[in-house]
């Protein structure tokens, strides 16, 4: 696959990005495409390695290695190298529902498992994927299909995030009548309101949703199932129900002063910013949310990074990102060999922007908040931080982060965003449908299956596996659709 000596001849070259000083002036995407000739060279680096871990999608040491969708990575790269973009699209769409999403927001599990990346830069599979899908849209190749032979079966999908959209797509293509319910005012779930526009332009979601509507998928927004509409009513109307509501309960931080005005969950903050932008067609920038404020982001994951980038665009005076865990190493440790997911330091776009704008990395490791300090009106004005130290439990052997006595320090803060992860699905949904949940609050199923404890109820995505990646949500939605189809029809050709 690719050019036999391509990985020796061509170094990795990433697509250009708009300079940090310029891109923070808008909420639009800032990654630019490579010229076609250079893109083909990058695809030529795929090295016919014999064992393509890039498409394995297996769990190694508790972490995913390779693409969970099992995309035919070497084949797609080979077709890009040869300039056969239409064939590359056909190959990619065999396994992938929405490459336009993952090529923007996925951390590229395929590249982390790339053999070429063992001693050199991995093949730029993520950017190659984006080039393929954008070529396909530009040339009218992206189509949603719905079987002309109707099955007479009706399926409700609750939630329009990546898993819900993937399940709906395949079930519609099979000939089932599919209705997707979304509690927010627009379709997309996490893609719409959990990921900022500069990372994923919402027009990218809209063009796919339009194709799905044309194929026959029905979308109902402002429909909060379990609250606005009883779950029992949904069960009566449909032959099967697929719960794809996400792991939407944010983890809180309970310390003195938590009730101060100016403390918000990150997902709520990001959603509010995106909604203001979309409602006003990007003319109403909600700068007052962060302008001239000292911002603290609690949490070092993707959502925390998105908060950093968003607050910089809103004119924050300073941004500090707190990480409870120690700073990761810059290179793999012997205990973390390839093709495991590399547990190394990564500097994402928001942190890059903070370094450029404020002159320093916003991340502070082994630190958390001990107390929030309010003014007389109840507004947040300061935060007391405390350092943490890893301590091994003598009985279990597990490491935990313990506060270091006497390490407290007080810093100014008028806005705090909590991005500390999620605690599973919303109880009102699972209780409404009467399905069992596990100890993490996820819908309980047998291993490798998607049917819940109640007949005709299924689950996929974060609601099923817990907080995870968009690519895993799509993979789960596709697998759940196949299980639903088999139950309804006695077999499945999905």
> Tokens representing 456?
């005709």
Let me know if residue 343 belongs to a domain: yes
Structure confidence at residue 430 as a pLDDT band (50, 70, 90): very high
Taking the CA atoms of 157, 159, 160 and 166 in sequence, report the sign of the dihedral they define.
negative
304 and 430, same domain (yes or no): no
Tell me: the pLDDT tens digits for 7-53?
Answer: 999 999 999 999 999 999 999 999 999 999 999 999 999 988 989 99
- pLDDT (average), residues 389-408: 91
Tell me: the pLDDT tens digits for 62-119?
Answer: 888 999 999 999 999 999 999 999 999 999 999 999 999 999 999 999 999 999 998 8
234 and 278, same domain (yes or no): no
Tell me: the pLDDT tens digits for 229-245?
Answer: 999 999 999 999 999 99
Taking alpha carbons only, the member of 48, 214, 86, 96 closest to residue 145 is 214
392 and 270, same domain (yes or no): yes
Structure confidence at residue 61 as a pLDDT band (50, 70, 90): confident
Of all helices (H) and strands (E), which one includes residue 322? strand 318-323
Q: Give the CATH number for residue 88.
A: 1.10.1060.10
Let me know if residue 100 belongs to a domain: yes
Tell me: the pLDDT tens digits for 129-151?
Answer: 999 999 999 999 999 988 889 99
Which residues on neighbouring strands pair with residue 60, listed in sequence order?
63
Query: Dihedrals φ, ψ of 174, to 5°?
Result: -80, -20
Please give the full DSSP string across 222-261, using - where no structure is assigned. Answer: S--BTTTB-HHHHHHH-SEEEE------BPP---TTTTSB
Taking alpha carbons only, the member of 373, 408, 367, 369 closest to residue 257 is 373
Structurally, the chain folds into a number of domains equal to 3
Q: Give the CATH number for residue 387.
A: 3.50.50.60
292 and 403, same domain (yes or no): yes
Q: Which residues span the domain enclosing 183?
A: 154-247+423-489
333 and 234, same domain (yes or no): no
pLDDT score at 399 = 87
Let me know if residue 101 belongs to a domain: yes
205 and 324, same domain (yes or no): no
pLDDT score at 396 = 83
Taking the CA atoms of 415, 198, 324 and 396 in sequence, report the sign of the dihedral they define.
positive
Please give the full DSSP string across 73-126, using - where no structure is assigned. Answer: HHHHHHHHHTT-HHHHHHHHHTT-S-HHHHHHH---HHHHT-GGGGTSPPP-HH
Structure confidence at residue 1 as a pLDDT band (50, 70, 90): low
pLDDT score at 64 = 87
171 and 215, same domain (yes or no): yes
Of 138, 166, 182, the last residue of a domain is 138
- pLDDT (average), residues 202-213: 98
- pLDDT (average), residues 339-366: 97
Tell me: the pLDDT tens digits for 433-480?
Answer: 999 999 999 999 999 999 999 999 999 999 999 999 999 999 999 999
Q: Which residue has the tokens 């297996």?
A: 58
Taking the CA atoms of 355, 357, 359 and 364 in sequence, report the sign of the dihedral they define.
negative
* Contact call for residues 428 and 227 (beta carbons, < 8 A): yes
Let me know if residue 1 belongs to a domain: no
361 and 283, same domain (yes or no): yes
Let me know if residue 339 belongs to a domain: yes
118 and 178, same domain (yes or no): no
pLDDT score at 356 = 97
Let me know if residue 255 belongs to a domain: no
User: Which region among 59-63, 148-152, 158-162, 393-397 has the lowest average model confidence (pLDDT)?
Assistant: 393-397
Let me know if residue 149 belongs to a domain: no
Let me know if residue 252 belongs to a domain: no
316 and 381, same domain (yes or no): yes
Q: Which residue has the tokens 């910013």?
A: 273
242 and 268, same domain (yes or no): no
Q: Are strands 380-392 and 58-60 parallel, antiparallel or unpaired?
A: unpaired
Residues in the chain: 494
69 and 37, same domain (yes or no): yes
Of 70, 105, 138, the last residue of a domain is 138
Of 418, 450, 474, the last residue of a domain is 418
Mean model confidence pLDDT for the chain: 96
* Contact call for residues 184 and 193 (beta carbons, < 8 A): yes
HSE at residue 331, side-chain half, CA atoms within 13 A, is 5
* Contact call for residues 397 and 287 (beta carbons, < 8 A): no
């Amino acid at each position: 696959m690719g050019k036999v000596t391509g990985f020796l001849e061509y170094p990795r070259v990433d697509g250009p990005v708009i300079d940090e000083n310029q891109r923070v002036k808008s909420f639009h995407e800032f990654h630019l495409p490579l010229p076609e000739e250079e893109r083909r060279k990058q695809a030529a680096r795929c090295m016919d390695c014999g064992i393509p871990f890039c498409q394995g999608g297996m769990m190694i040491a508790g972490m995913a290695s390779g693409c969970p969708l099992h995309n035919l990575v070497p084949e797609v790269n080979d077709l890009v190298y040869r300039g056969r973009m239409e064939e590359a699209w056909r190959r990619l769409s065999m396994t992938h529902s929405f490459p336009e999403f993952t090529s923007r927001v996925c951390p590229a599990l395929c590249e982390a498992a790339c053999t070429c990346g063992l001693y050199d830069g991995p093949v730029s599979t993520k950017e190659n994927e984006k080039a393929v899908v954008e070529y396909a849209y530009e040339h009218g190749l992206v189509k949603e299909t719905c079987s002309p032979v109707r099955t007479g079966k009706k399926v409700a999908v609750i939630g329009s995030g990546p898993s819900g959209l993937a399940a709906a797509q395949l079930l519609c293509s099979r000939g089932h009548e599919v209705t997707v319910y979304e509690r927010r005012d627009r379709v997309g779930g996490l893609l719409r309101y959990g990921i900022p526009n500069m990372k994923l332009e919402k027009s990218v979601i809209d063009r796919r949703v339009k194709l799905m509507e044309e194929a026959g998928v029905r979308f109902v927004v402002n429909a909060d199932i379990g609250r606005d509409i009883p779950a029992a009513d949904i069960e009566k109307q449909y032959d099967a129900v697929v719960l794809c509501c996400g792991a939407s309960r944010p983890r809180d931080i309970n310390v003195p002063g938590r009730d101060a005005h100016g403390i918000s969950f990150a997902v709520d903050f990001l959603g509010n910013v995106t909604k203001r932008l979309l409602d006003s067609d990007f003319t109403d920038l909600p700068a007052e949310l962060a302008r001239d404020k000292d911002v603290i982001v609690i949490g070092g994951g993707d959502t925390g990074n998105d908060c950093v980038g968003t607050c910089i665009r809103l004119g924050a005076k300073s941004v500090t990102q707190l990480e409870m865990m120690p700073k990761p190493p810059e290179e793999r440790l012997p205990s973390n060999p390839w093709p495991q997911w590399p547990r190394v330091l990564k500097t994402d776009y928001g942190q890059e922007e903070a370094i450029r704008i404020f002159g320093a990395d916003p991340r502070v490791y082994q630190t958390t908040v001990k107390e929030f300090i309010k003014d007389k009106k109840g507004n947040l004005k300061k935060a007391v931080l405390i350092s943490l130290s890893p301590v091994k439990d003598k009985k279990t052997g597990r490491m935990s982060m313990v506060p270091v006595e006497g390490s407290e320090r007080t810093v100014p803060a008028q806005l705090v965003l909590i991005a500390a992860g999620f605690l599973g699905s919303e109880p009102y949904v699972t209780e409404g449908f009467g399905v069992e949940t596990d100890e993490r609050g996820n819908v309980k199923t047998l291993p490798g299956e998607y049917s819940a404890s109640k007949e005709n109820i299924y689950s996929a995505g974060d609601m099923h596996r817990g907080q995870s990646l968009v690519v895993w949500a799509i993979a789960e939605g596709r697998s759940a659709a196949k299980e639903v189809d088999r139950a309804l029809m006695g077999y499945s050709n999905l």
